[in-house]
Amino acid sequence: MEDFSLDELVRDNIKRLKPYSSARDEYKGVTGDMVFLDANENPFENGVNRYPDPQQRDLKAKICELKGVTEAQILLGNGSDEVLDLIFRAFCEPNKDCIITLPPTYGMYEVLANVNAIGVLKIELDDQFNPKVDEILQSANESTKLLFLCSPNNPTSNSFEAKDIERLISGFKGIVVIDEAYIDFSNAESWISRLVDYPNLIVTQTLSKAYGMAGVRLGICYASNKIISVLNRIKPPYNVNALTQIKSLERLSVPEEVSTEIQRILKQRDWLSLELETISFVTHVYPSDANFILVKVDDANRRYSELIAKGIVVRNRTTQPLCENCLRFTVGSQIENIKLITALKEL
Ligand SMILES: *Cc1c(COP(=O)(O)O)cnc(C)c1O
């Protein structure tokens, strides 16, 4: 990757941008006995009357301690969705550039491309749900700025093989974004340990799934110092609110609670997979490396409606490529999973 030049990939307007400097950016030393009359806040204390730390230093320090990265290698956002949007805005020129996605996959990559007027080149996974590495690399050109790899992939629930991912990162001339929303349910190793090897790599994670904090909206972006400093220039100053910073820090401070929950979910996943195999109209249960199970049934639209009628909402993926008649079941609590299996057996 010696010939990689980040500067050539960053949009010109972003390179020229003078970031907005917020009050709390200009004076950082927030200590108890200072008088803050710089941000037009209401002085009466209620816990959230002050603007949040725009650099989220306490939260970042905790993440760095847990993940073995430096603060200059991370950017936090209002969910992964905001992080992904920042990546589009940094690297993709509207009405000119495009991205590569590998359907069936997470729908937000395409939505964000459409919002930002960026083209989408779709290269379907093969019938084993693995990336067609040669075809992807051959299709790439100077306008394909981003390649999205979701591993473990939603909705197929498999992780891509390390050697395939490695070939893609090495061979792709733009930026490779690995979405690791489900990495904590997988035995596969996170790619954040490889950031030092690949200047064109971005890894995203989230507190929405394994960490049980979908409601707080915290997305984490890991990349080289250079990429992070580009993204920092365009992020809204107070993009991670005070409540999110507090709740996230609390949760990250009890990692043993998080891992206990993950273990319980994995145990339920294995049980659910075995039970699903016994349902008469289930034709295939795909192996899962995440907290959901993709299942092929005789008639997905019919089974989806029948489950709704029994008060159980699942995700119908039948319109997705390679997912004809597939339903996606999130692994719930033991009670919820028993309800699902009982309902399926009654159909
Ligand atoms: C759920 C999910 C996310 C999470 O997005 P947030 O905005 O952080 O909640 C990201 N990527 C994939 C593939 C997901 O399935």
CATH code of residue 156 = 3.40.640.10
Pocket of ligand 1 (CB under 6 A): 79-81, 106, 150, 154, 179, 181, 206, 208-209, 214, 219
> What is the residue with the minimal CA distance to atom 3 of ligand 1?
181
Total domain count, the chain: 2
| pLDDT exceeds 80 at position 215 | yes
Q: Are residues 228 and 341 in the same domain?
A: no
Query: Of 220, 253, 286, which residue sits at a domain end?
Result: 253
Q: Are residues 339 and 240 in the same domain?
A: no
Q: Are residues 186 and 242 in the same domain?
A: yes
Expressed as residue numbers, the domain containing 99 is 6-253
**Ligand 1 centroid vs 205 CA: distance in angstroms?**
8
In a domain, 225, yes or no: yes
Q: Are residues 284 and 227 in the same domain?
A: no
Q: Bridge partners of 206?
A: 219
**Ligand 1 centroid vs 149 CA: distance in angstroms?**
13
**Ligand 1 centroid vs 331 CA: distance in angstroms?**
16
Query: Of 253, 278, 303, which residue sits at a domain end?
Result: 253
Quickly count: other Cβ atoms within 10 Å of residue 38's Cβ.
Answer: 12
Q: Are residues 63 and 191 in the same domain?
A: yes
Please list the alpha-helical segments (H only) found in the chain: 6-9, 12-16, 23-26, 57-67, 79-91, 108-115, 133-139, 162-171, 225-234, 242-252, 255-277, 300-309, 334-346
Mean pLDDT of 218-242: 97
Give the pLDDT confidence of 20-37 residue by residue, as tens digits. Answer: 778 877 766 666 678 889
- Give one DSSP letter per residue of 241-305, joined into a string: -HHHHHHHHHHHT-HHHHHHHHHHHHHHHHHHHHHHHT-TTEEEE---SSSEEEEEES-HHHHHH
**Ligand 1 centroid vs 280 CA: distance in angstroms?**
32
In a domain, 1, yes or no: no
Tokens of 15: 């390179």
> What is the residue with the minimal CA distance to atom 14 of ligand 1?
181
Please give the pLDDT value at position 291: 98
Percent of the chain with pLDDT over 90: 93
Q: Are residues 28 and 165 in the same domain?
A: yes
Give the pLDDT confidence of 162-189 residue by residue, as tens digits. Answer: 999 999 999 999 999 999 999 999 999 9
Backbone angle region of 329, left / alpha / beta, with phi > 0 → left and psi within -120 to 50 → alpha: beta
Query: How does strand 74-77 pair with strand 219-223?
Result: antiparallel
How does the average pLDDT of the chain come out, rounded? 96
Q: Are residues 180 and 301 in the same domain?
A: no
Tokens of 304: 């989806």
Q: Are residues 152 and 273 in the same domain?
A: no
Give the pLDDT confidence of 87-107 residue by residue, as tens digits. Answer: 999 999 999 999 999 999 999
Q: Are residues 21 and 152 in the same domain?
A: yes
Q: What's the CA gap between 156 and 105, in Å, rounded? A: 8
Q: Are residues 197 and 330 in the same domain?
A: no
Q: What's the CA gap between 77 and 288, in Å, rounded? A: 28
Q: What's the CA gap between 106 and 116, in Å, rounded? A: 17
In this structure, what CATH number is given to the domain that contains residue 284?
Answer: 3.90.1150.10
Q: Are residues 151 and 295 in the same domain?
A: no
Q: Are residues 220 and 154 in the same domain?
A: yes
